Structure 1
Amino acid sequence: MDKFIVSARKYRPQTFDTVVGQQHITTTLKNAIKNKQLAHAFLFCGPRGVGKTTCARILAKTINCENLQPDGEACNECNSCKSFNEGTSLNIHELDAASNNSVDDIRTLVEQVRFMPQAGKYKVYIVDEVHMLSASAFNAFLKTLEEPPPYAIFILATTEKHKILPTILSRCQIFDFKRITTNDTVEHLQEIADKENIKAEKSALQIIAQKSEGCMRDALSILDKIVSFTNGEVNYRNTLEHLNILDEDYYFKLLDSLLQQDIGAAMLLYDEINSKGFEGDMVLNGFAEFLRNLLVSKNAKAASLLEVVEGMQEKYIAKAEQVSMSYLVSALNILNEFEINYKMARNKRLHVELALIKLNYLQQALELVIENGNVVKKKRVDAPVIYKSKTIEQTPGAPVKKTEAKVIIQQPAKEKIISPPQPASPKAANTVKEPSVKYAAPKNGNGKNLLEALREKVGADYNVEEVKDAEPLTQERLNEVWNDYAATLEAQPNKHSTYQTFRIAKLNVETDNFFTVTVHALTQQKFIEQEKTLLCDFIQRAFYNRSINFKILIEAGEEEEVPIYLTLNSRQKFDRIAEKYPLVKELKNRLNLDIDY
């Protein structure tokens, strides 16, 4: 029995003309060979399976051909071409950088470059997956790549161009390979099917081309598997079954059920799909792609983006006319959200069913309208909505709690606040008073000003208090407020030292909103800093000015003997402990502890 060779190797292109989907690159290379304008280094980059290594091998064979054709192709008949086709040529060297990525491997390659070719004009070095080389290997390769011998040509191939050093990119002639289109893939598959006497439907080949996503090697591998599965006959049904792809007829039925708001039929259809072994995320993704195709079908200019099997275009266009644009856009948003959250859902089936329920009632929830030239999403209400409310009765015997309220009244000259009454105290006895500044307040219909009208309305439950103007920050008044706060500290236990610090501190007004406090020692500064929050609030209330702030200074003088724990940071404290008690450091080292400094 002959040894089986997969189609990707058996039908690998041997000339530039047989390369599929890369005409922009093959034409450039052929013209460079005919005009003798070959670069010394090439970089072939692009997705997997699009012909990078194949073009590199064809280029290596063509430039050493003894009987080059007028169109720039190799003859495939001379000794050089035959040895190359048989794999015995000494003028081509391939290096897999994925497994030979060290500096020693590159140095070995560089040493081989010194030797001239035994036959032919050029020695070609193909480095595949060059992005896998280490940084040191790249650096070892730089000098040789920049100034190689005239007989040496380097061809680098990679799928990840962004990982290559800029110094390498600047020394190469870069060729960007593109994904192979669906039409090119289908034509190439049809040629191979004809040569192998395989019965293949065009719709099946289109499914294979879409599944390969522009990779010819994947498309040929899928074709080999389906041929083995079906014993030489490739049709639409067995291709869907083998590739585990859901038939688009299911999506058409599912959409009809959702448009008719028949949630029962939609649930039963999903149950049938689920029983065939299709996962929920595959259903969500497939249905989203189906709706995307419908959205594309609604615009004649975007029809070229519709990638479906032959004969389905008319069905998509007809169905797109029955679905509104607002439904498609909103449904795609819902499916995208559910697909993202699918992995986090514990009940996968319920997660998909919730998506179907949302899609089922989507038509009566949202609509897209055009306002002022912009598309706006609006909620729809098909019927009046009634809100029921019930008054909560007061519990018998429960005390009635008065709600505190604060009302600000804007006046031409003053601002008045109505606030709840404060507890009676000697200082607050004169809190309620008339404004000291006279002004003409607006009057209501009864000839009374607004302040009087509010007093009559609220009665005796509230007091009317005037908003005070900010007092100027003077030295005399500041000392008085400072001493008042110090008096509150004297009455508190464990505050004697703080009280003494407040008594000896020196105050100096700097600006209208700022003053400084000068003390003699660091410990005194610490005492005042502990009270700074309450002290600021006390002073700001006394002056009716929330902008007042202060800074604590230490008077220059004799150095104070400061406690050691106030001057050392965490690392210094640990070092002193370890110096005094060596066992602490030994414990840290033995347990491999990490000290948080």
Structure 2
Amino acid sequence: MQPYAAVFLAAIAVQMDKFIVSARKYRPQNFNTVVGQAHITTTLKNAIRNQQLAHAFLFCGPRGVGKTTCARILAKTINCENQTKEGEACNVCNSCVSFNEGTSMNIHELDAASNNSVDDIRSLVEQVRFAPQAGKYKVYIVDEVHMLSASAFNAFLKTLEEPPPYAIFILATTEKHKILPTILSRCQIFDFKRITNNDTVGHLQEIADKEEIHAEKAALQVIAQKSEGCMRDSLSILDKIVSFTNGQVTYQNTLEHLNILDHDYFFKLLEAQLNEDMATAMLLFDEINRKGFEGDLVLGGFAEFIRNLLVCKNEKAAALLDVVEGLQSKYIETAKAVHPAFMVGALNILNEAEINYKMARNKKLHVELTLIKLTFLQQAIDLSFDNQTASLVKKKRVSGPVAYKATPLQSLQILAPETPAPLPAAKLHIEPPLPAQPPQPAVTRTAPEPVFNPSNESLGNSAFSSTAVAVAPKQPKTAAPGAKRSLLQSLREKQGNAKAEEVKECISLDDSCLKDALKEYTELLKGQPSKNPHVTAFNIARQRVVDFQNFTLTVSTTIEKKFIEQEKMNLLEFLHRKFQNNSIRFTIELEDAPSTATQTAAPLNTREKYQRLVEQYPLIKELKDRLKLELDY
């Protein structure tokens, strides 16, 4: 049995050695097989066909969208000996065969992530000096070029700008913003975009057909959504699921393998919340939690579900849905039964819960509280919804404090002490006669039972003989002389003593009145010896009325302006009283003095002095010529 076991293990090892992942096995070999980058491949094919190739290319974009693949196809195509009319490689000639086998000497790949020093770039530059032995071009592919150091970039600049005619550089990066602008300006830039879900699903279906794999379209759509536009990730996920399901890729086992929460749970949660069935919602979450799904995944997935419903509220926007085929109609029908106010409120609650999820100690309780809020959200909307106007009622906001209104109550003192107290000694006090008051209606109140007190016999029993007591209106109390008065009494006395003053009419401001007022003010200043400079400044200043409440004073020097500014407030107070107008204002202007600088003649140099002498005395020049003199200016 041992020989058979050895043969079996050897066969398994051979099969394992032959296995190649789909991302490498189905890597595009020409431009037509590149998925989702038609704007790039069309441009490159036209450039090859018209022989308008640039000396440096920069391929930038997300991971797994075909940057390195397109660089290799371009390198193979430009060295192909029998190019097609469409600008594609033939894959038959010696150059194409050597490239496909990985033995071509005209193509050099450098991983800048691990070879990012100056020495690596210098060795690359030294290789550029040698012309290709076979083929037209030597192509240098530098992957992850943003990982190069600044000194390596600088060492690469000159060669990248002016390479030999047979050298072509193709740079690939996922982070374009990290590359120096001097490198960007020397390259022809191509921006790769994320591959759409439809293109990804179509490519996965082709591979499944070639590999004889039974794959549901819904499962392929889930894989495309999970890969987020990266073809390499989608092929890796497909390989894992095929190994997991033994070649049967279905929607359910794809959800199970990728740990994705099914949309049916979200539809059930929404139904329970609309029906205000808290028990069903809590049981659904418990079932989801027992399957191994974390709370943040539930919150994020439910928020995305509500967002899709809100988008489906208008059927024109249903194209924005990124869901499995067949669920669009279910989303649209559900969106019609849910009020937009509920969806917007639910999104706010879910967003806040997802932000605070990491800080929560009991994460399961945090999610359960969120579901409870969503369950009773419909009640809050119903309370704020006006059935008559069919609109939401907004709460009124109070911009300022509201005064507390209360009716003052008159205190009633009952003269019925339980324990008799001795009366103070009687004092004779004669009050001045009060002014006559208009008769006030008496208020009758029922008096309590009289209490007999012998000390009150002198007062008589007439006050207690009747069951009805007349309470006279209260008179304002006057403070006794020498007693301390309250602030309220002082204000009342001032208000009573205030006399109404007659409002006088404002006097209009004109040149003559202003001149007289200023003259009167300067006369007042003359009485103060220290104000003599101010008086001189006011006498020299020229006044000009701008309008009925503004005028200007023009002075010729800065010192005069300062003197007037010192008296500005006093002058304004005087003018306000003079013209009975508190809105009078004036400005001080400084007169532009004419320039007194005289132009002085510049001194003459030796040459100019000689020219002046020659103009006055021509014989000097004749003497110079005859003697053949050379003047040193």
Identify whether the pair has TM-score above 0.5, normalized to the shorter chain.
yes
Which secondary structure state, in structure 1, belongs to the residue aligned with residue 244 of structure 2?
helix
| Distance in 2 separating the partners of 1:241 and 1:513 | 88
| Distance in 2 separating the partners of 1:511 and 1:9 | 91
- CA displacement at 1:369 relative to structure 2: 8.6
Q: Which residue of 2 aligns with 1:334?
A: 349
- CA displacement at 1:251 relative to structure 2: 0.6
Within 5 Å, which residues of 2 pair with 1:411-422? none
- CA displacement at 1:217 relative to structure 2: 0.3
The AA in structure 1 aligned to 2:365 is L
Which secondary structure state, in structure 2, belongs to the residue aligned with residue 224 of structure 1?
helix
8 A contact 1:46–1:177 mirrored in 2: yes
Which secondary structure state, in structure 2, belongs to the residue aligned with residue 95 of structure 1?
strand
Give a deviation string over 1:244-263, Cα, whole Å, max 9, x none.
00111111100000000111
Match of 1:87 among 92, 99, 102: 102
Structure 1 window deviating more from structure 2 (432-441 vs 161-170): it is 432-441
Which secondary structure state, in structure 1, belongs to the residue aligned with residue 378 of structure 2?
coil
Match of 2:243 among 225, 228, 239: 228
The AA in structure 1 aligned to 2:161 is E
The AA in structure 2 aligned to 1:262 is D
Give a deviation string over 1:165-199, Cα, whole Å, max 9, x none.
11111111111100000010001001101111111
Distance 1:379 1:282, change over 3 A: farther
The AA in structure 2 aligned to 1:317 is I
Which secondary structure state, in structure 2, belongs to the residue aligned with residue 156 of structure 1?
strand
Match of 2:310 among 286, 295, 304: 295
Q: Which residue of 2 aligns with 1:106?
A: 121
Match of 1:131 among 136, 143, 146: 146
Is 2:377 aligned against 1:343?
no
Is 2:121 aligned against 1:140?
no
What TM-score do you get using the length of structure 2 for normalisation? Answer: 0.60
| Distance in 1 separating the partners of 2:182 and 2:394 | 55
| Distance in 1 separating the partners of 2:385 and 2:191 | 44
8 A contact 1:366–1:378 mirrored in 2: no
Which secondary structure state, in structure 2, belongs to the residue aligned with residue 366 of structure 1?
helix
The AA in structure 1 aligned to 2:124 is L
Q: Which residue of 2 aligns with 1:169?
A: 184
| Distance in 2 separating the partners of 1:244 and 1:203 | 16
Which secondary structure state, in structure 1, belongs to the residue aligned with residue 140 of structure 2?
strand
- CA displacement at 1:366 relative to structure 2: 3.4
Is 2:171 aligned against 1:195?
no
- CA displacement at 1:11 relative to structure 2: 0.4
Is 2:294 aligned against 1:279?
yes
| Distance in 2 separating the partners of 1:268 and 1:82 | 62
8 A contact 2:59–2:67 mirrored in 1: yes
The AA in structure 1 aligned to 2:99 is F
| Distance in 2 separating the partners of 1:440 and 1:224 | 101
The AA in structure 2 aligned to 1:194 is D
Match of 1:20 among 29, 35, 40: 35
Which secondary structure state, in structure 2, belongs to the residue aligned with residue 364 of structure 1?
helix
Within 5 Å, which residues of 2 pair with 1:172-571? 172-366=187-381, 378=394, 433=494, 438-439=500-501
8 A contact 1:33–1:72 mirrored in 2: yes
Give a deviation string over 1:209-252, Cα, whole Å, max 9, x none.
00000000000000000001011110001000000001111111
Which secondary structure state, in structure 1, belongs to the residue aligned with residue 225 of structure 2?
helix
Which secondary structure state, in structure 1, belongs to the residue aligned with residue 377 of structure 2?
coil
| Distance in 2 separating the partners of 1:203 and 1:233 | 13
Within 5 Å, which residues of 2 pair with 1:5-16? 5-16=20-31
Within 5 Å, which residues of 2 pair with 1:153-168? 153-168=168-183
Which secondary structure state, in structure 2, belongs to the residue aligned with residue 197 of structure 1?
coil
Q: Which residue of 2 aligns with 1:119?
A: 134
- CA displacement at 1:287 relative to structure 2: 0.6
The AA in structure 2 aligned to 1:26 is T
8 A contact 1:43–1:172 mirrored in 2: yes
Q: Which residue of 2 aligns with 1:36?
A: 51
| Distance in 2 separating the partners of 1:60 and 1:147 | 19
The AA in structure 1 aligned to 2:231 is M
Q: Which residue of 2 aligns with 1:478?
A: none
Which secondary structure state, in structure 2, belongs to the residue aligned with residue 157 of structure 1?
strand
Q: Percent identity?
A: 77
| Distance in 2 separating the partners of 1:169 and 1:512 | 68
Distance 1:263 1:199, change over 3 A: same
- CA displacement at 1:91 relative to structure 2: 0.6
8 A contact 2:318–2:328 mirrored in 1: no
- CA displacement at 1:433 relative to structure 2: 4.9
| Distance in 1 separating the partners of 2:135 and 2:501 | 109
Structure 1, unaligned runs of 5 or more: 381-422, 442-509, 515-597
| Distance in 1 separating the partners of 2:151 and 2:568 | 63
| Distance in 2 separating the partners of 1:51 and 1:437 | 95
Which secondary structure state, in structure 1, belongs to the residue aligned with residue 57 of structure 2?
strand
Q: CA RMSD in A?
A: 3.1
| Distance in 2 separating the partners of 1:292 and 1:257 | 18
Is 2:58 aligned against 1:52?
no
Which secondary structure state, in structure 2, belongs to the residue aligned with residue 365 of structure 1?
helix
Structure 2, unaligned runs of 5 or more: 1-13, 397-482, 504-564, 570-633
What TM-score do you get using the length of structure 1 for normalisation? Answer: 0.64
The AA in structure 2 aligned to 1:171 is R
The number of equivalent residue pairs is: 405
- CA displacement at 1:362 relative to structure 2: 1.3
8 A contact 1:369–1:378 mirrored in 2: no
Give a deviation string over 1:303-346, Cα, whole Å, max 9, x none.
21111112111111111111111111221121111111111111
Distance 1:359 1:119, change over 3 A: same
| Distance in 2 separating the partners of 1:137 and 1:307 | 43
8 A contact 1:259–1:360 mirrored in 2: yes
The AA in structure 1 aligned to 2:188 is Q
The AA in structure 1 aligned to 2:111 is D
| Distance in 2 separating the partners of 1:114 and 1:330 | 67
The AA in structure 1 aligned to 2:182 is T
Give a deviation string over 1:375-421, Cα, whole Å, max 9, x none.
988469xxxxxxxxxxxxxxxxxxxxxxxxxxxxxxxxxxxxxxxxx
Structure 1 residue ranges, 4+ long, deviating more than 3 angstroms after superposition: 366-370, 375-380, 430-441, 510-514
User: Which structure would you say has the larger Rg?
Assistant: 2
| Distance in 2 separating the partners of 1:163 and 1:100 | 17
8 A contact 1:291–1:332 mirrored in 2: yes
- CA displacement at 1:424 relative to structure 2: 7.6
The AA in structure 1 aligned to 2:195 is I
- CA displacement at 1:100 relative to structure 2: 1.0
8 A contact 1:365–1:379 mirrored in 2: no
Which secondary structure state, in structure 2, belongs to the residue aligned with residue 363 of structure 1?
helix
The AA in structure 2 aligned to 1:46 is G
| Distance in 1 separating the partners of 2:65 and 2:393 | 43
8 A contact 1:366–1:379 mirrored in 2: no
8 A contact 1:204–1:234 mirrored in 2: yes
8 A contact 1:366–1:377 mirrored in 2: no
| Distance in 2 separating the partners of 1:379 and 1:255 | 27
